[in-house]
Structure 1
Amino acid sequence: MFPKNAWYVACTPDEIDDKPLGRTICNERIAFYRRSDGQVAAVEDFCPHRGAQLSLGSVCEGNLVCGYHGLVMGCDGKTVSMPGQRVQGFPTINAYPVVERHGFVWVWPGEAELADSAAIHHLAWAESPDWAYGGGLYHIACDYRLMVDNLMDLTHETYVHTGSIGQKEIDEAPVTTKTEGEHVITSRFMHGVMAPPFWRANLRGNGLADDVPVDRWQVCHFHPPSHVMIEVGVAHAGKGGYDAPAKDKVSSIVVDFLTPETGTSMWYFWGMARNFAVKDTNLTAQIRDGQARVFAEDTAVLEAQQRNLQRHPGRRLLMLNIDAGGVQSRRIIERKVAAEDPRRLVA
């Protein structure tokens, strides 16, 4: 399943700028909203009066107001007031550690006393004016670990993304996988190939020729609980590949935050950070739209895979050399789940 004592991306700031947001994270139903000081708060999405969803209410003077009978809930999970009632004896609901950082809202759905914001995944590109970012959000009906498998083995691009980022050379290039502590790295390098459509567009966006051979790379980084950052790019062949000067290449980081909703559904925060033509907002929109189409193709495959696995729960699946990145990542997830409670470990 999923570790709960971890930081997950819950939403983007714009989702809660003017209203509460209800979202299930790791089977925890949580209401997110802004306090009067502008900070984000997160409490259990359950009114202690009659069990209504607090997220369907409103925010007034920094408190969450239930839209059913007007109960006012504080950010600590204690009832502040309710029309015509004394609230001293009202039960407390859960409050969750929450942090706004790097352009995302992060939540800790596990034991609150263990939360340390210093453990939030560091995103150097999010703090630098030398990078531009564009992304989005998908709700996907699949186990988040299937997406981990998908992102740590990009062989599928040849078959799933034939019109955008796929090419036959992906199949032919050797894959290397290594694990450094809780960091899994899968790498693939292609030399002297023609760029596929998505990368031809990016070459043009950086003022480079798109009709000459290129060296292409894909370096996938898994960090627990479920974050995958992928270094991708192409450089004019013979210019140094991954290490080529900026004037000869286009390179980006594919950003993937995989937040479990339930055991069979997830929130997929995706995007791309780039360090070329960073002020070109049209290019940012173009890349985002192209990436959205790519991920929509993944969504169709993964949701069908989830349905098939549920129909055949006893089937044994093959583990090939191309699966090493996903296998190593899953082992790290399993160790974290077992450390919290061995009884929760599910294959």
Structure 2
Amino acid sequence: MFLRNAWYVAARENDVADKPVPVKILNEKIVLFRKTDGQVAALEDACPHRKLPLSMGRIKGDEIECGYHGMMFDCSGSCTRAPATDRPPPGARVRSYPMAVRYGLLWIWMGDAALADSDTIFAVEHWGDPAWGMNQGDGMEIACNYLYMTDNLLDPTHVAWVHQSSFASAACEDTPLQTTVADSGVTVWRWMNDVDPAPFYAPFLKFKGRCDRKQQYEVRYPSHALIKAIFTPAGTGGEGQPLHEDVFIMDSYNFMTPIDENTTKYYWFQMRNFAPDDAEVSRQFATSVRGAFEEDRVILQAVHQGLAEKTSPNIDLKIDVGPLRFRRRLAQLIEAERAQAAQPAVAETA
């Protein structure tokens, strides 16, 4: 179900302060806590003695103390103190997880720690560029499997019905989609030419009248997405064409972290090529985006429930090519990872 040798967002950076923070990722319970140098550590959230969550304990310096009998654990997961003993007993340790900080988010590596490379975290092209503005990120919990969210983020057509007052325009209903497959993931995209701007974007365009609009929905393995919205004056857009000087670009970064098979934590922020220092524009976008994603949440939770309780088969449509290709390749990556993990055990048995 999950790809483990990958980076996932564990929390927003400011979610972890001076107390232990419990999170659940890929069905594993983890405690996050901040060290004296400001870095964040992540440990298995269960004391090896009686499995009390370490998140119910206390931070002491760079270590965490169990709230039951005072066993202490450092950031590597090693026990440094146990009550009434000169040295901690064998097995007195918990799993630790590699962590990294990017874009105001705390990233966690859920697989083999030896393979963790922070340079492979999803790159944000214009982060820190003074010419680009940022719409402050947010997060929400959605009661659905994360693959229904990757389906949604590889489906430009759904905006015509789910987001009628924001992202939609008439062209969103029937303009054909293109699908591009790469080693990193799948992209579904299309240009819609000489159309009315969608209500969400229209107030921020530098030009008047109709437009050429590109929807580009890219999801990378295991569950991170870049949604690119491009608007240019009608007659100036199209694949391979230079971008007009009045082009509007908004890059929406979306990070899905599976909590378990039925629940997903969703984090996001947007980068825009205008009004870099305008706090009011950022506020308006943040509010509108949150509202649109709330519309998605209602749909996705109902889809999860409907598919879980279905009494007849569901069907696929032509618009599902991108999501289905993404799922197929992700399943292959997960199976290959499992097979690789099983190899040492097989050799040992032999």
TM-score, L = length of structure 2 = 0.90
The runs of 5 or more residues in structure 2 that have no matched partner are 342-350
Q: Which residue of 2 aligns with 1:106?
A: 107
Deviates more, 1:88-97 or 1:236-245: 236-245
Structure 2 letter corresponding to 1:46: A
Q: Is 239-248 or 10-19 further displaced after alignment? A: 239-248
**1:4 aligned residue:** 4
What's the CA shift for 1:310?
1.1
Deviation at 1:47, TM superposition (A): 1.8
- The worse-fitting range, judged by mean Cα deviation, of 244-253 and 323-332 is 244-253
Select 1:183's aligned residue among 174, 182, 185: 185
User: Which deviates further from its counterpart, 316-325 or 222-231?
Assistant: 316-325
CA contact (8 A) 2:254 2:269 kept: yes
Tell me if the contact between 2:162 and 2:295 (Cα under 8 Å) persists in the aligned partners: yes
Distance 2:126 2:11 in 1: 19
Closer, same or farther in 2 for the Cα pair 1:201/1:50, shift >3 Å? farther
* 1:309-344 per-position Cα deviation (integer Å, ceiling 9, x unaligned): 1112x7433222211111111122101110122699
CA contact (8 A) 1:102 1:127 kept: no
Kept in 1, the 8 Å contact 2:138–2:269? The answer is: yes
* Shift of residue 249, structure 1, vs aligned partner: 2.3
* Cα offset, 1:83, TM superposition: 5.8
Which ranges of 4 or more aligned residues in structure 1 deviate by more than 4 Å? 82-87, 241-247
| Distance (whole Å) between structure 2 residues aligned to residue 184 and residue 336 of structure 1 | 14
Contact 2:156 2:188 in 1 (8 A): no
Count of aligned residue pairs for this structure pair: 338
Provide the secondary structure at the position in 2 that maps to 1:172: coil
Of 197, 215, 218, which residue of structure 1 is paired with 2:215?
Answer: 218
Shift of 1:225: 1.0
Are 1:233 and 1:250, in contact at CA under 8 Å, matched by a contact in 2? yes
Structure 1 residue 25: Cα displacement: 0.8
Q: CA deviation at 1:238?
A: 2.7
Match of 2:345 in 1: none
Following superposition, the deviation at residue 85 of structure 1 comes to 5.1
- TM-score, normalised on structure 1? 0.91
Partner of 2:258: 260
Q: Bigger CA drift: 31-40 or 286-295?
A: 31-40
Contact 1:255/1:270 (8 A) holds in 2: yes
**Residue in 1 aligned with 2:299?**
301
Equivalent runs, 1:65-80 vs 2, <5 Å: 65-80=65-80
- 1:94 is displaced (CA, Å) by 0.6
Distance (whole Å) between structure 1 residues aligned to residue 40 and residue 247 of structure 2: 39
Cα separation, 2, equivalents of 1:34 and 1:254: 29
Pair 1:13–1:316, CA change in 2 (3 A):
same
1:327 counterpart (316, 324, 327): 324
1:286 aligns with 2:284: yes
User: Shift of residue 9 of structure 1?
Assistant: 1.2
Task: Say what the alpha-carbon RMSD is for the aligned residues.
Answer: 2.2
Matched residue SS, 1:113: helix
Q: Secondary structure at the match of 2:227?
A: strand
On the 8 A contact 2:143/2:301 being kept in 1, the answer is: yes
Q: How does 1:138-287 map to 2 (within 5 A)?
A: 138-203=140-205, 208-209=206-207, 212-240=209-237, 245=243, 247-287=245-285
Of all paired residues, the percent bearing the same amino acid is: 34
Shift of 1:131: 2.6
